Amino acid sequence: MIKLGYRFLSIGGTADQILFAGLRFTLAGILTVLIGRAIFKGPFWPKRSAWPCVAWLALFQTILQYTLFYISLGHLSGVRGSIINGTGTFWAILVACLIFRQERLTARKLAGCALGFFGILLVNLSGLHTGEPFSLLGDGFMILSTIASSVSAALLRQFGGREEPYLLSGWQFFFGGLILTAAGLIFGGRFGALNVQGIAVLIYLAFVSAVAYGLWALLLAHNPVSKVQIYFFVTPVAGVFLSAWLLGEKNQALGWPALLALVCVSLGIYIVNRPQKTVQP
């Protein structure tokens, strides 16, 4: 949908992409807070002690992650970007275990991560039959984006237990989005066209962020990172086949490198998150 938004609004340059991201997340922040307040009957403003948490989340979850993500999509196919983005599950587990010490790193988790990274290596070595080598602005920025997302997941896990998750998520979207919007405008970001399709995609993406990330923040506040991240299995699968359908990337989606990479990523996520058998006394 982001790539369709680029197409409808004639978005090409980096500043244009950052402006598009900024408008999306500013709107998403407003929607997240309004929806969360309606559902949970909570406050509109975070407590004073929560604002530093909002700032850290805005930095990693919105500003860093989505600046890198939106730029990378301008240099990657939807199929390739979806598969690489699927490694976010593994990065999140490594960050939670090794940096934040929220979980224990086991041999099973290491094996699953290794299998998933092999899938991504396969994507880049093969070039998905397009002859595209590894690129910093494409593949590199997408990988860095998933690492920023992983840090934000660990921060949400850490902050969400003592603060309202919908407020953390909503206000970090809002302020992060404002910063991205300002940066895009300062560096000359503009939409080459303005039409109903493009505006509809922008509103849809904002709504997706408001609902999906609000629920994600709520889940991370009450569950281990690895348990929640298993559902990111849907991201590479849906991304590959939706790219084939909506963007016409059937050759890449149905090629053996993409399918094998998808299998590796999916198996890796399953190995990391499968329930351990309990030994009966």
* Coarse DSSP helix, strand, coil percentages of the chain, rounded to the nearest 5 percent: 80, 0, 20
- pTM here is 0.72
Amino acid at 191: F
CA–CA separation, 198 vs 208, rounded Å? 15
Q: What is the pLDDT of residues 2-51, one digit of tens each?
A: 889 989 999 988 899 899 999 999 999 999 999 888 877 888 888 888 89
Domain residue spans in the chain? 2-273
Q: Tell me, what's the pLDDT at 219?
A: 78
Is residue 148 a contact partner of residue 68, using CB atoms and an 8 Å limit? Answer: yes
Give pLDDT tens digits for 257-270. 667 777 887 787 77
Low-confidence ranges of the chain (pLDDT < 50): 128-129, 279-281
pLDDT of residue 191: 92
| CA neighbor of 168 nearest in space, from 115, 107, 221 | 221
- Residue 161 has a pLDDT of 66
